[in-house]
């Protein structure tokens, strides 16, 4: 085990100023594989088998192209120093430069980042965006950092991963606990290194410094296009359809607005801790305002309190998963009564839960298409930054809708042709496209 000598919090000099702090290894224990990484690799293995993928190609796609682990110090406001661990992983770059999110979470490990990078390769291929898959982040609880500490951590992390990052190699984007301000700091840091502004080095920036219109609603709008397409296939009218939403952040709120506009009735909402229900319907606008003001859904007027478990078990037509990964397992999947489950959250259902839902005839719209709206908007922003020419709202929404509709149609065609579920069909489409690009380019040398 490695260790580093650090000042104790609040003590900057004198006896006792230095403390021995153990650092955990950055390498995953092979005996206890990360759940998400194991899950994502399993999806690839299943798709490879159905595609009769060449064994060598399967091996190439099963592991990331490159991985960077960095350990870096940050000086805190009280003068003490802590060392943080960060990552940046490229899965496959044969279809274009790598792109993917940066997240700040206290339990982040290398396997998490590997899984997310691979998932981003499939997303880009599925919607035919010329990006490869990347992901990154820092193992940190950002709620314990001041604004200055967060900026210092971000700029130092950006510096550490800068050999990999740039508009032609790797374009980071926001993810869990990062946003437009984080991207602004990263873009500025990279620009200072080069001596000139490089707006195309990151995506997810504010409009004032090269961001794109439509980004805040992109993931939710993309999910709505998937819901509309699958509801049409299932013969389900959205006007009057009953909807439950688990996870009520920005994406969940956008989906609620979109579904309400289509005439759907929101009968249950849950955030990370609590839920509320109203069989007669919950006004999306009122719920969104309440959540923005209080950062919690509990106590929403004209609703009754409910647990997350009760939200999952509601009698509804559509269940939207917009929270954390692994929320639906083989334990609670038998209680789900929705006809369609929409996995807007990455890894919202476990493989075992997928099996339970499939056996019960419940269709799952998988994460690699349901959450692909942000990937598309990221590509739009990158293109606009490179051209220094920016599009109107209608151009962005029209192009987003077209790409999502075409992608869902392709997945449905594969599902019907091969008689598989939507997740398997989506993986088959995505993996075949990445494999084709890799094959056409050949293996160097």
Residue with tokens 């000139």: 196
Determine, yes or no, domain membership for 234.
Answer: yes
Determine, yes or no, domain membership for 125.
Answer: yes
Contacts of residue 387, defined as CB under 8 A and 6 or more positions apart, other chains included, come to none
Q: Are residues 120 and 169 in the same domain?
A: yes
- 136/244 Cα distance (integer angstroms): 31
Residue from 70, 135, 125, 140 nearest 101 by CA: 135
Q: Are residues 344 and 287 in the same domain?
A: yes
Q: Are residues 197 and 224 in the same domain?
A: no
Q: CB-based burial of residue 13 (10 Å sphere; 0-12 exposed, 13-18 middle, 19+ buried)?
A: exposed
pLDDT score, position 33: 53
Residue 330 near residue 358, CB atoms below 8 Å: no
Cα–Cα distances (Å) from 169 to 97, 111, 125, 130, 189, in that order, read: 5, 22, 17, 12, 17
Q: Are residues 246 and 172 in the same domain?
A: no
Q: Are residues 324 and 232 in the same domain?
A: yes
Q: Are residues 202 and 108 in the same domain?
A: yes
Determine, yes or no, domain membership for 171.
Answer: yes
Domain final position from 370, 387, 420: 370
Q: Are residues 295 and 196 in the same domain?
A: no
- Reduced 3-state DSSP string for the chain: CEEEEEECCCCCCCCCCEEEEEECCCCCCCCCCCHHHHHHHHHHHHHHHHHCCCHHHHHHHHCCCEEEEEEEEEECCCCCEEEEEEEEEEEECCCCCEEEEEEEECCCCHHHHHHHHHHHHHHHHHCCCCCEEEEEEEECCHHHCCHHHHHHHHHHHHHHHCCCCECCCEEEEECCCCCHHHHHHHHHHHHHHHCCCCHHHCCCCCHHHCCCCCHHHHHHHHHHHHHHHHHHHHCCCCCCCEEEEECCCHHHHHHHHHHHHCCCEEEEEECCCCEEECCCCCCHHHHHHHHHHHCCCCCCCCCEEECHHHHHCCCCCEEEECCCCCCECCCCHHHCCCCEEEECCCCCECHHHHHHHHHCCCEEECHHHHCCHHHHHHHHHHHHHHHCCCCCHHHHHHHHHHHHHHHHHHHHHHHHHHCCCHHHHHHHHHHHHHHHHHHHHCCCC
Residue from 417, 439, 415 nearest 425 by CA: 415
Q: Are residues 202 and 250 in the same domain?
A: no
Determine, yes or no, domain membership for 25.
Answer: no
pLDDT score, position 324: 82
- Give the total residue count for the chain: 445
Q: Which residues partner with 3 through β-bridges?
A: 22
- 197/187 Cα distance (integer angstroms): 8
Per-residue pLDDT of the chain (445 residues; tens, 9 = 90+): 343 434 433 333 333 343 333 333 334 443 445 678 988 899 999 999 999 999 999 999 999 999 999 999 999 999 999 999 999 999 999 999 999 999 999 999 999 999 999 999 999 999 999 999 999 999 999 999 999 999 999 999 999 999 999 999 999 999 989 999 999 999 999 999 999 999 999 999 999 999 999 988 999 999 999 999 999 999 999 999 999 999 999 899 999 999 999 999 999 999 988 999 999 999 999 999 999 999 999 999 999 999 999 999 999 999 999 988 889 999 999 999 999 999 998 889 988 999 999 999 999 999 999 999 999 999 999 999 999 999 999 999 999 999 999 999 999 999 999 999 999 999 999 999 999 999 999 989 8
Q: Label residue 342 left, alpha or beta by phi (over 0 means left) and psi (-120 to 50 means alpha).
A: beta
Residue from 373, 379, 376 nearest 97 by CA: 379
Determine, yes or no, domain membership for 393.
Answer: no
Determine, yes or no, domain membership for 51.
Answer: no
Q: Are residues 288 and 188 in the same domain?
A: no
Determine, yes or no, domain membership for 180.
Answer: yes
Domain final position from 370, 387, 410: 370
Tally of domains within the chain: 2
Determine, yes or no, domain membership for 419.
Answer: no
Q: Are residues 222 and 202 in the same domain?
A: no
Structure tokens at 384: 């606009």
The CATH code of the domain that includes 173 is 3.40.50.10860
Domain membership of residue 236 as a residue range: 216-370
Cα–Cα distances (Å) from 109 to 43, 75, 139, in that order, read: 20, 23, 7
Structure tokens at 92: 């496959």
Domain final position from 170, 187, 207: 207
Structure tokens at 440: 């056409």
Q: Are residues 299 and 193 in the same domain?
A: no
Whether the link from the prior residue into 152 is cis, omega within 30° of 0, is no
pLDDT score, position 34: 64
Residue 319 near residue 335, CB atoms below 8 Å: no
Rg (alpha carbons) of the chain, rounded to whole number: 22
Q: Are residues 365 and 238 in the same domain?
A: yes
The CATH code of the domain that includes 241 is 3.40.50.720
């Amino acid at each position: 085990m490695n260790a580093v000598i650090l000042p104790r919090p609040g003590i900057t000099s004198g006896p006792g100023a230095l403390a021995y702090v153990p650092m955990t290894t950055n390498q995953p224990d092979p005996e206890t594989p990360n759940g998400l990484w194991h899950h994502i690799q399993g999806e690839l293995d299943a798709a490879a088998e159905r595609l009769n993928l060449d064994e060598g190609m399967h091996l190439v796609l099963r592991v990331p192209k490159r991985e960077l682990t960095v350990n870096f110090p940050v000086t805190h406001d009280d003068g003490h120093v802590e060392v943080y661990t960060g990552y940046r992983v490229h899965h496959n770059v044969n279809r274009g430069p790598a792109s993917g999110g940066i997240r700040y979470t206290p339990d982040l490990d290398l396997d998490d980042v590997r899984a997310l990078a691979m998932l981003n390769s499939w997303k880009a291929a599925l919607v035919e965006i010329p990006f490869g898959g990347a992901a990154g982040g820092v193992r940190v609880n950002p709620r314990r950092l001041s604004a200055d500490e967060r900026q210092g951590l971000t700029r130092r992390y950006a510096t550490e991963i800068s050999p990999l990052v740039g508009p032609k190699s790797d374009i980071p984007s926001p993810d869990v606990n990062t946003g437009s301000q984080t991207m602004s700091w990263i873009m500025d840091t990279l620009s200072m290194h080069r001596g000139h502004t490089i707006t195309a080095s990151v995506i997810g920036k504010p409009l004032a410094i090269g961001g794109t219109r439509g980004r805040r609603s992109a993931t939710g709008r993309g999910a709505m296009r998937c819901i509309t397409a699958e509801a049409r296939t299932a013969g389900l009218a959205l006007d009057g359809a009953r909807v439950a939403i688990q996870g009520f952040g920005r994406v969940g709120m956008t989906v609620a607005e979109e579904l309400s506009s289509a005439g759907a009735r929101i009968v249950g909402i849950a955030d990370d801790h609590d839920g509320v229900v109203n069989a007669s319907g919950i006004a999306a606008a009122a719920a969104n305002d309440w959540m923005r003001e209080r950062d919690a859904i509990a106590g929403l007027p004209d609703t009754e309190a409910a647990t997350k478990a009760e939200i999952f078990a509601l009698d509804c037509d559509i269940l939207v998963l917009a929270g954390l990964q692994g929320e639906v397992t083989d334990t609670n999947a038998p209680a789900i009564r929705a006809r369609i489950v929409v996995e807007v959250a990455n890894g919202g259902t476990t493989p075992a839960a997928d099996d339970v839902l499939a056996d019960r005839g419940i269709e799952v719209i998988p994460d690699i298409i349901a959450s692909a709206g942000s990937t598309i908007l990221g590509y739009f922003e990158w293109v606009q930054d490179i051209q220094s020419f920016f599009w109107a709202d209608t151009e962005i929404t029209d192009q987003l809708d077209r790409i999502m509709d075409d992608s869902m149609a392709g997945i449905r065609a594969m599902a019907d042709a091969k008689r598989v579920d939507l997740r398997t069909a989506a993986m088959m489409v995505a993996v075949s496209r990445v494999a084709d690009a890799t094959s056409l380019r050949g293996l160097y040398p």
